Amino acid sequence: MIPNLLAWLLRAIQFGTIIMFGSMGEILTEKSGNLNLGVPGIMYLGSFAGFASAYLYENHAENPVPFLCVVIALLCGFLASALGGLIYSFLTITLRANQNVTGLALTTFGMGMANFFGGFLLKGEVYTAAPISNAAFSAKIPFLSDHLGLFGDAVFSYGFLAYAAILLAVFLHVFLNKTRTGLNLRAVGENPATADAAGINVTKYKYLATVIGAGISGIGGLYYVLDYNNGIWATTGQVEALGWLAVALVIFTTWYPLNAIWGAYLFGMLYWLYNFLPKLIGVTNIDRTSSLWQMIPYIVTILVLVGVSLRRKRESQPPASLGLAYFREER
Amino acid sequence: MEDAIRLVGITKTFGQVRANRDISLTIRRGEILSLLGENGSGKTTLMNILSGIYFPDSGQVFVGGREVTIASPKDAFDLGIGMIHQHFKLVDVFTAAENIILGLPGERRGRLDMKAVEDKVRKICDRYGFDIEPDQKVYEMTVSQKQTLEIVKVLYRGADILILDEPTAVLTPQETEKLFAVMREMKKDGHAVVIITHKLHEVLSVSDRVSILRKGEYIGTVDTKDATELSLTEMMVGKKVTLDIERPAPENLVKRIEVKDLNVMGPEGVPVLKNVSFEAFGGEILGIAGISGCGQKELLEAVAGLTVPMAGSSITFFPPEKEDRPEQLVGRSPREIKEMGVHLSFVPEDRLGMGLVASMGMADNMMLKSYEKGSSFFVEKKNPREVAEKVKEELAVVTPSVSYPVRRLSGGNVQKVLVGREIAAAPAVLMTAYAVRGLDIGTSYQIYHLLNEQKKKGVAVIYVGEDLDVLIDLCDRILVLCAGQVTGIVDGRQATKEGIGLLMTKIAREDDGHRHLGHTEPGSENSTEGGAAHE
């Protein structure tokens, strides 16, 4: 019973970390009024660039240093996904293209790019791995994870990115709600004309939030390959499903980064429900219904959306100008 | 007195429209300047140039004697220019204090000290007697509080040149008085204050000087003490220009529409139409004049069934050949009303925004109004195509084919499609709003001709227009609206521009309580007189 529960929790927190990065990046982006539906593609870019750079470093360096694996992978993963955000920004902010269409195109683009270049790494195999980087990313916290029993297992046995995600959520919360820059950013997403009249550089804020947001989202994809998936790059398209879950999580959090912490873990629990719940209650043979179980996070999101709409609390609505392009001299 | 701002030769165009043409004027410290003009005269555009929202095509701006470039709102703040926009620039989910400090650089990096901000806001509120709580959310505020917040925002930023864009449009008379007191207080502090308005009594009561714009051009500046309502109206509307529009004598007048005690509530809970009563006759063109936003649009929409009037309102329609069986339009759906033969063609500011689908051709746009006809599952394409061909031929619409996207047609042709579609349905009542908006003279005359044709056919034409010269030359009778009330119905053949101009500002002039209700009566009496004359 207990080991099963613990395994469930561990899996849920690791799973949650992936989508927490994805949705925190998207929260930052959406706070600027940009609805970037390219999250799955961006996470694909981040996962591929992170994996590929680490893989190439591991295979070409004489003595790969684990620390450098981490730095290189993070840098490349962040930059590649930020580049995806930059493409999106240029199209929607500068050229004022439709945000939904652009986002969806970016998803397709990111998937295609990652799988195309991934083919060169796979060299005909079904999967390939970067074990040194995986070890570096998934290293547990030394001492604490071994000497505190179950508590140590439950709290200190994750790779460092799981903790970074929590810190980032807190940081984002403080940034958005307690700083002038955060206030200005929220104003841009709520009412760009007002922000503009107040002397805020709307274009700059939108660009920065979207590009950095995409970079953060991409880290989620990177964490998926190099930690959650044991450093294995394969031909399966799981990152896409995770990307959509991250978008759903943004709605679930009602755009509050702090909610992303527990929301992501809850999504993780719900997502893995099909694997652990039957074991816990002693049912076997549920394989055929696992897809149904995996729907639960989405159903919960819909319920939250319904609840939020019914309550009509102004603070938990999406940024008012979300999805709209801004043009100053429009009459 | 010291000059705060000097504008020299400012020109600004939007596409084809010249919003400002070679405007030069001066704003001084320690005085209140009124910028007076009809809607569309370029007042707001000019002030938006000062506040950095628009960038002028040419011309110079001097602030404190030094030539400056105002490329963004931030530049304007840095020069001490603060503008209070007609449409509030506030973030609804923020508190008052958050809105105030929006975009300002912090005293120091990092966390922001909301407490210090709130204290400073309270200090300003105490100085001028504003009733605003810094931690109140904007969506909980009344319209007047929002406006006060806008003023506090500008003062907090240390602006000493304040521009208020039609600040009284949304205020009650008491709130207006309070605002004027604040403005005088600011003037005493040595600030320069500009108020954009088209209400004459406000100009006379609050300002020191008046600058008048008309159709994007600078007409002149006078000292308020030397001005009278009549002299200002004349400068505002200009001299009568003879246009030579044909106006056949009305024949066979039949009562088609009778509106009685029409009241409509606006979205903000403010009445937009108050006790409007009039009649429209088949065989005549009834013009509707008024400063824009005085209820013209709402009036047409109420008749067309697009807005729901308040209880007690009555709109009676007398169908052709069945005049003895009048129909009540209030409570009917827009489609039912349309099927009875009451048609509305509205040309919005953005022509393609309402009424036409830009990327579809003429034929498909014709179909928008008749899609419910036809019995098959598939859409009936043949009839609309025939109608489109007919409209194209009769109205001389210049288009390669009826399936050519209307987006690519010139403005005049788009408007012909818009009006033509309604005419093609052989209406009994044809309502058009701003049918010649943005058109050149030749095309405008074609549209007037179309309307006259309809009039001769016995259609009751209701024409909402912006240009007084046209209204006077085209319409048989002109109904004047002011702030949602009928201030008079005059005979088009005897009307003068000054007379209508005064009626257009009549309520505004005496808008200090409930007294104005008394002035509706002569208007409605006129309307019955007008009706009686025809019968």
Q: Where are the domains of chain A?
A: 2-330
Task: Answer whether A198 sits within 8 Å of B102, measured CB to CB.
Answer: yes
Closest residue in A to B74 (Cα) is A199
pLDDT of residue B379: 64
A291 exposure class (CB count in 10 Å sphere: 0-12, 13-18, 19+): exposed
- Where would I find the beta strands (DSSP E) of chain A? 127-129, 232-234
8 Å CB contact of A179 and B349: no
Task: Say whether B103 and A195 touch across the interface (CB within 8 A).
Answer: yes
Instruction: Give CA–CA dist A78/A112, Å, rounded.
Output: 18
Q: Which residues contact A308 (CB under 8 A, 6 or more apart)?
A: A254, A316, A317
For residue B139, list chain A residues with Cβ-Cβ distance below 8 A: 314
Q: What is the CA B46 to chain-centroid distance, rounded?
A: 17
> pLDDT digit of tens for each residue in chain B (535 aa)?
678 999 999 999 877 677 899 999 999 999 999 998 876 788 888 999 998 888 999 999 999 889 999 988 888 888 999 888 877 889 989 999 999 988 887 665 556 788 888 998 998 888 888 888 898 999 888 888 888 899 898 888 888 899 998 888 777 777 888 889 889 988 998 999 999 987 788 888 899 999 999 888 999 999 999 988 888 888 887 776 666 788 888 888 888 889 999 999 877 677 889 999 999 999 999 999 887 778 888 888 888 888 889 888 888 888 888 778 888 888 888 888 888 888 777 666 555 555 777 778 888 887 776 666 656 666 666 777 888 888 888 777 878 888 888 777 776 777 788 778 877 777 888 888 887 776 666 777 888 888 898 898 888 999 988 788 888 889 999 999 888 889 889 998 888 888 888 888 775 444 443 333 333 333 333 433 333 334 3
ipTM computed for the complex: 0.83
pLDDT digits (tens, 9 = 90+) for A246-274: 999 999 899 999 999 999 999 999 888 88
B311 touches chain A (CB under 8 A): no
Asked if B94's CB is within 8 angstroms of A199's CB, the reply is no
B102 contacts in chain A (CB < 8 Å): 183-184, 187, 194-195, 198, 200
Instruction: Report the C-alpha gap between B243 and B220 in whole angstroms.
Output: 25
Contacts of B53 in chain A (CB under 8 A): 196-197, 328-329
Task: State yes or no: pLDDT of A46 exceeds 90.
Answer: yes
Instruction: End-to-end CA distance of chain B: give it in Å, rounded.
Output: 61
Residues 93-132 of B with CB under 8 A from A: 93-94, 98-99, 101-106, 110-112
Q: Which of B39, B64, B267, B77 is nearest to B165 (CA)?
A: B39
Chain B nearest-CA residue for A188: B91
Measure CB to CB from residue A179 to each of B72, B92, B111 and give the nearest one: B111
Residue carrying structure tokens 């034409």:
B461
Q: Is beta strand B17-28 parallel, antiparallel or unpaired with respect to B3-14?
A: antiparallel
The verdict on a CB contact (< 8 Å) between A198 and B89 is: yes
Report the predicted TM-score, pTM, of the whole model to 2 decimal places: 0.73
Percent of chain A with pLDDT over 90: 59
Handedness of CA B457, B462, B467, B469 (dihedral sign): positive
pLDDT of residue B348: 60
Which domains, ranges and CATH numbers included, belong to chain B?
3-237 (3.40.50.300), 244-341+427-535 (3.40.50.300), 358-426 (no CATH)
Backbone φ and ψ of B484, nearest 5°? 85, 5
Which residue shows structure tokens 């007294």? B515
CA atoms within 13 A on the CB side of A81: 38
CB B500, CB B479: distance < 8 Å = no
The reply to whether residue B111 touches residue A195, judged by beta carbons under 8 angstroms, is no
- Domain A2-330 matching CATH 1.10.150: the answer reads no
CA distance B398 to chain A (A): 27
Contact B94 A320 (CB under 8 A): no
Report the pLDDT value the prediction gives residue B103, as an integer from 0 to 100. Answer: 82
Does any CB of chain B come closer than 8 Å to the CB of residue A195?
A: yes
